[in-house]
Structure 1
Amino acid sequence: MASSHGGSRGRSCPLSFLSSIYDLETLDTRFTTPSSVPYRAANDKREGDRAVADKRVEPPKWRTPEFYFYYLVFLVVVPYMFWVAYDVSRPSDPRYYKFQKRLRDGWIPGRKIDVSDAQYYTFRTNLPYMALLLVFHPLLRRVWNAVHPVPPELRAARANVPEAAEARLRQRTSYDAAFALFFLVALHGFSAAKILAILAINYRLATSVPKRYIPAATWVFNICVLFANELCSGYKYREIARLLTGSPAENLVTGTSGLVALGEWMDRHGGLINRWEILFNITVLRLISFNLDYYWSLDRRASSPIEKKQLDPANLSERDRIATPAAPHDYCFRNYLAYAIYGPLYLTGPIITFNDYISQQRYRPATLSTPRTLKYGIRFALVLLAMELILHYDYVGAISKSRPDWSSYTPAQISLLAFFNLHIIWLKLLLPWRFFRLWSLVDGVDPPENMVRCVSNNYSTLSFWRGWHRSYYRWLLRYIYIPLGGSSFRTGLDAARTVLTYLVVFTFVALWHDIKLNLLIWGWLVVVFFLPEIAAGVLFPPKKWESRPTAYRMLCCVGAVGNVLMMMAANLVGFAVGLDGLESIVKGIFRDYSGLAFLITACAALFVGIQVMFEIRQSEYRRGINLKC
């Protein structure tokens, strides 16, 4: 009997470990702990969330005849989807020659890999060097701490003793500021001076402009920086020298002055990433965060919110870390530089506010755990493997970038090429975000997870936006959406103001990504696609359907199918094929009756998938978790 139990434990342990890797707690403790509650251990009962969840919890449906039918659909449809994408990617396909040049020899024997996406190809090529940096950076911090130790009398003090916390803050931010200078020069060479100049001007705006003008000056300056970086191509030193010397363009042919030649030489030494301006957008968000956090702190210096609420500064909730202003002396240039160019999060984020950064530097977050960070690293590796397998077997990116004749593809092939294209976009964004967050966790800072769910596990436009690039969504809430008044649909005037707020937010989002028409169209399409879901919520309130839960679930699922189709269209326009490409895809689907038949079949398959999504969220509600996405 004992050996039997031992064998059972032996079999269950690997499965239990694999399950824990995909637990929400592993991904981000914010998903299982309310933002208003300090993080606690596994015995946290999360009363607040459970009270909300109990109102909407339904009995499990996983073992009902309805869901057994859904499982059968999954067993047929999912392999078919992968087969269609694989079939059009094979060398035997007559269109293979059109996209073959976008493929390279892969590490899977007999397979090539799709390298048509420059963003992922760059990440993939540099991943070994970034992995070394992930190890080197925290080790170098240990060396720094040994050279600049915390005084012995404070080292022995408890972490929440103010003097010990201040010493930890100085030690960590001084290292981050020093590493920031080294990091900038290594990445951008002589262009590091341009970045530091932008940072210095922004800092002066926050600390020198009269208080009432700080918000306006901050927004005007940083939006101008976004446009100027794009329009001036990163301010080439050669062009600056020509302006200073008055050298006309013809001199580039007949000869250059010494200053222009020096500018050309400096432009050639632009570090590992010569085009610094294409990655600077994420830094702009941190510059705005610093300025506005500083501005709001000016109104709260008379009293400390921590003392007023009698909070433990070493065990603050995430909401308190973000909302509680840092101490006046924390808004110094050293801390500002350390935050704006914090190595692990500099290139892609996730985004963390200045107040939160300072709080985590002063007190180590209780959410950090070595076993959890290890599992998070394993999860990153599994996602990387999934991306590699898809690119080795489904060449959907290469096909879509080779100006295909969509009329030569069947409606099923067109639709699934678009579907897998969206998954590749999701994965190529997820991987850098997750890698750099892993680096930050190893270094002792816990930023928000950017992706809550797989792109295939979304049916609500509003919820999709909350869970996609989540740290950016939270940044928009704090610095744009809430200051503009948030949302309300109580009256027609409130509804109009809310729609205008959405348009302002998504116009900024589109222009922040890039100054391109297709992204601006994407941003406005997202707002347009919000409206049917909002209207449906008003016309079909849950309270009126409490006596008919199954009918309400079916009704919601029909609306969700439409939402999914609209979200796919918007993201294809913004990040994949553009408006012309989407038009070609739609024409290809509707060119004959077979396309219409496929569309009906695809909607039926989406209906089944969304029913499973509903039940996934119900299982989370039963555990007291409400992700709102």
Structure 2
Amino acid sequence: MASRSHSGSRSRSGPLSFLASLYALDTLDTRFTTPSSVPYRVATDKREDDDKVVDKRVEPPKWKSLEFYLYYLVFLIVVPYMFWVAYDVSRPSDPRYNRFKNRLVDGWIPGRKIDVSDAQYYTFRINLPYMALLLVFHPLLRKVWNAIYPVPQELKAARANVPEAAEARLRQRTSYDSVFAVFFLVVLHGFSAAKILTILAINYKIATSVPKKYIPPVTWVFGIFILFANELGDGYKFRDIALLVTGTPAEVLGTYTPTLVELGIWLDRHGGLMRRWEILFNITVLRLVSFNLDYYWSLDRRASSPIEKKQLDPANLSERDRIATPASPQDFCFRSYLAYAIYAPLYLTGPIITFNDYISQQRYQPATISSSRTLKYAIRFGLVLLAMELVLHYDYVGAISKSRPDWSSYTPAQISLLSYFNLHIIWLKLLLPWRFFRLWSLVDGIDPPENMLRCVSDNYSTLSFWRGWHRSYYRWLLRYIYIPLGGSSFRSARDAARTVLTYLVVFTFVALWHDIKLNLLIWGWLIVVFFLPEIAAGVLFPRRKWESRPTAYRMLCCVGGVANVLMMISANLVGFAVGLDGLENIVRGIFRDYSGLVFLVTACSALFVGIQVMFEIRQSELRRGINLKC
């Protein structure tokens, strides 16, 4: 009887233990639990053998305190109310339903329609079955390629960290990636693949032919030029090129069409599955810059090998060493460049991986990749997809915001929560493609960074939010713009001014990289403006001066966190949702009467409670020896 009871206990704890492992940080990305300067195998051995180093900022747990029991009560009331408000205004019985019902279609949940107003997510959603087939087909085709072009038997039998075996693996994988890249481009973009290959060839020529000191400026000029040219040139349609070559005015095409123009029109009609290739090419521009600058920096370090100098194991490098250690001179060939720039799993949306890191992982598969972790990551992706589908079936906030609503007809609570859930939909529609394509990459043997660390509702710091949102892009900006410009320092007024200028340069590039639109420029500059109060607060209220009053300091930080959250919501609504005019209408609606002010105070109180829980989540991570800095 006792034995059966023990077995039953284990079976009950099994599913809970598995669910907990799904949401472990290590499942999401081992970079969150392993310092970037420590190889993964060394870090795991150390975690097993050594006691954790306790961070001096760690405080006793508060989860079972009276204060937090009060917070739990607030959560039990506020969170269901938030969902109810968004659901209530989405019902057919709402008098404004007819204004947005044309943006809804029948859903897979019986009796419910689904919001398809967001074209970006709708495209991802309808193409997901085909992309899932590609996720299976691409790695299987690699196995066929490996069978046709095998690694020599004597090297295959050698240890993985034998240099000759690693070189053979690199050649085998990059050869497949480069061939598949051309095939992938043709299927996706048809004859427009020639335009992409031309851009790649010009960029490669810049890296390998321009005098060394001119490589960075010419690279940046070319990269920014391509961003503008792709947008303004509308993807360089063959028809427009033919009109330019023949000198034919567009207005006479109805009566006279030269043969070359007819050919251009025919080529444009065969633009593959994605005719507008320029829409998602911005992510490729980042890889082009990465290749050129990694090549430029490698020119200074060819006299000695950092791996030999530091006596590192090339098969077990830390992430920092994989990124910082230059690839070998022969690795900067066009085949490897093409394989990297058009690496199929990461081509459309990322995450972004540097050229050095890509080459290193092609030589030696990282120890962080395991079948069990990849499977859990896939399940977690499925759960996020389910969450998005449920929100779109029950809360039509996207359809409402895109139907030019009369905000004066909504209460302050409805206006605020429609905006709040709109941001969550934006977060989810970005999260899902990033996780899907990272999953594909993991299945294929490449481990890129996870782009999203925390839920959009688990952020109280503008600086930390930026570190955790599109994380691989943030790391790319650090390596290729922020650090070369000098980083940040507030030791003097001059340093502070230079730092603010650096932030402005970085976020101006970020805004232009996303899209050439005024509202995104305003978003980028607002982010910089919203950095400043948080930085100033850190200088005026340093933690060391409050060590004797930790509770008071926590409350003070929480008040600042509430202000940060309001500013972040405002900036992201301007950049990615309703624009500056829409935000103005929302603010005017909230401050329309006394009830709006009451709601604002109530909402800030709820945010205060939520931020206290966020503080404790991060304290829990510090107790486990994890410091994510976001």
TM value normalised by structure 2? 0.99
Q: How many residues align?
A: 628
1:45 maps to amino acid: R
After superposition, the C-alpha distances for 1:473-501 in whole angstroms (9 at most, x for unaligned) are 00000000000000000000000000000
Give the corresponding residue for 1:565.
566
Unmatched 5+ stretches in structure 2: none
Q: Distance in 2 between matches of 1:46 and 1:439?
A: 30
What's 1:588 paired with? 589
Match of 1:447 in 2: 448
- What residue is the counterpart of 2:94 in the other structure? 93
Letter in 2 for 1:227: F
1:49 to partner: Cα distance: 12
Match of 2:231 in 1: 230
Alignment of 1:46-125 (within 5 A): 51=53, 54-125=55-126
Tell whether 2:47 aligns with 1:45.
yes
Cα distance in 2 for partners of 1:441, 1:42 equals 20
**Structure 1 CA distance, aligned partners of 2:44 and 2:212?**
45
Q: Which residue of 2 aligns with 1:312?
A: 313
1:610 maps to 2:615: no
- Supply the AA of the counterpart residue of 2:47: K
Structure 1 counterpart SS, 2:525: helix
In structure 2, the residue matched to 1:350 is 351
* Aligned equivalent of 2:433: 432
Q: C-alpha distance in 2, partners of 1:295/1:46?
A: 40
Alpha-carbon distance, 1:550 to partner? 0.2
Shift of 1:54: 1.6
CA distances 1:127-151 after superposition (whole Å, capped 9, x unpaired):
0000000000000000000000000
The residue type paired with residue 365 of structure 1 is P
- State the match for 2:151 in structure 1: 150
Whole-angstrom distance in 2 between the partners of 1:441 and 1:362: 15
Aligned-partner residue type, residue 251 of structure 1:
V
> Which residue number in structure 1 is paired with residue 273 of structure 2?
272
Separation of aligned partners in 2, 1:186 and 1:16: 43
For 2:52 and 2:331, the matched residues in 1 are separated by: 37
3-state DSSP of counterpart to 2:254 = helix
Following superposition, the deviation at residue 244 of structure 1 comes to 1.0
Once the two structures are superposed, the pairs formed by residues 359-438 of structure 1 within 5 Å of their partners are 359-438=360-439
Note if 1:536 corresponds to 2:533. no
Contact 1:50 1:625 in 2 (8 A): no
Sort the Cα spacing of 1:232 and 1:47 in 2 relative to 1 into closer, same or farther, 3 A: farther
What does 1:156-171 correspond to in 2, within 5 Å?
156-171=157-172
Aligned equivalents of 1:23 and 1:407: distance in 2? 44
1:524 aligns with 2:529: no
Contact 1:344-1:440 at 8 Å conserved across structures: yes
1:122 alignment partner AA: T
Partners of 1:33 and 1:46 within 8 A in 2? no
Say whether residues 1:330 and 2:334 are aligned partners.
no
Corresponding position of 2:289: 288
What secondary structure does 2:250 align onto? coil
Q: Deviation per CA, 1:161-205, whole angstroms, max 9, x where unpaired?
A: 000000000000000000000000000000000000000000000
More displaced stretch, 175-184 vs 41-50 = 41-50
Q: Which amino acid is the alignment partner of residue 124 of structure 1?
A: R
Structure 1 match to 2:3? 2
Shift of 1:44: 3.1
- State the alpha-carbon separation in 2 of the partners of residues 486 and 134 from structure 1: 39
Comparing 108-117 with 247-256, greater Cα deviation is found at 247-256
Alignment-mate amino acid for residue 76 of structure 1: I
In 1, Cα distance between equivalents of 2:553 and 2:5: 47
Q: CA deviation at 1:250?
A: 3.0
Cα distance, 1:49–1:111 mapped onto 2, change above 3 Å: farther
Q: Give secondary structure in 1 for the equivalent of 2:95.
A: coil
* Shift in Å, 1:249: 1.8
Structure 2: how far apart are the matches of 1:332 and 1:283? 18
Following superposition, the deviation at residue 619 of structure 1 comes to 0.2
Mapped partners of 1:596, 1:19: distance in 2:
40
Is the Cα contact below 8 Å between 1:49 and 1:624 reproduced in 2? no
- The structure-2 alpha-carbon separation of the partners of 1:566 and 1:48, relative to structure 1 and needing over 3 Å to count, comes to farther
- Paired residue for 1:16? 17
Distance 1:47 1:33, change over 3 A: farther
Shift of 1:251: 2.7
Aligned AA (2:15): P
Which stretches in structure 1 are left out of the alignment for 5+ residues? none
1:466: which partner in 2? 467
Q: What secondary structure sits across from 1:254 in the alignment?
A: coil
Q: CA deviation at 1:117?
A: 0.1
| CA distance in 1 between partners of 2:612 and 2:48 (Å) | 27
Contact 1:281 1:513 in 2 (8 A): yes
- 1:228-270 Cα shifts (integer Å, max 9, x gaps): 0000000000011111111122331212000000000000110
CA distance in 2, matches of 1:367, 1:250: 59
Query: Could you list the per-position Cα deviations for residues 101-147 of structure 1 after superposition, in whole angstroms to 9, with x for gaps in the alignment?
Result: 00000000000000000000000000000000000000000000000
Q: CA deviation at 1:382?
A: 0.1
Aligned to 1:546: 547
Task: Indicate the residue corresponding to 1:496 in structure 2.
Answer: 497
8 Å Cα contact 1:344-1:437 kept in structure 2:
yes
- Separation of aligned partners in 2, 1:95 and 1:47: 62
**Matched ranges for 1:243-282 at <5 A:** 243-282=244-283
Once residues 242 and 571 of structure 1 are traced to their aligned partners in structure 2, the CA distance between those partners, rounded to angstroms, is: 41
Q: Distance in 2 between matches of 1:514 and 1:284?
A: 13
Which residue of 2 is the match for residue 31 of structure 1? 32
Q: Deviations over 1:517-564 (max 9, x none)?
A: 000000000000000000000000000000000000000000000000
Q: C-alpha displacement at 1:300, in angstroms?
A: 0.1
Partner of residue 239, structure 1: 240
Deviation for aligned residue 1:4: 1.0
> Aligned residue for 1:129?
130
CA distance in 1, matches of 2:341, 2:48: 34
Offset at 1:45? 2.5
CA distance in 1, matches of 2:486, 2:176: 39
SS in 1 for 2:47: coil
CA distance in 2 between partners of 1:211 and 1:42 (Å): 41
Rounded to whole Å, the distance in 2 between the matches of 1:507 and 1:43 is 43
Q: Which amino acid aligns with 1:195?
A: I
Cα deviations by residue, 1:389-434 (Å, 9 ceiling, x for unpaired):
0000000000000000000000000000000000000000000000
List per-residue Cα deviations over 1:357-391 (Å, max 9, x = no partner). 00000001000000000000000000000000000
Letter in 2 for 1:44: K
Indicate the SS of the match to 2:114.
strand
Measure, in 2, the Cα distance between the counterparts of 1:42 and 1:127.
35
3-state secondary structure, aligned to 1:62: coil
CA contact (8 A) 1:46 1:624 kept: no
Report the alpha carbon displacement of residue 46 of structure 1 after superposing the two structures with TM: 9.3
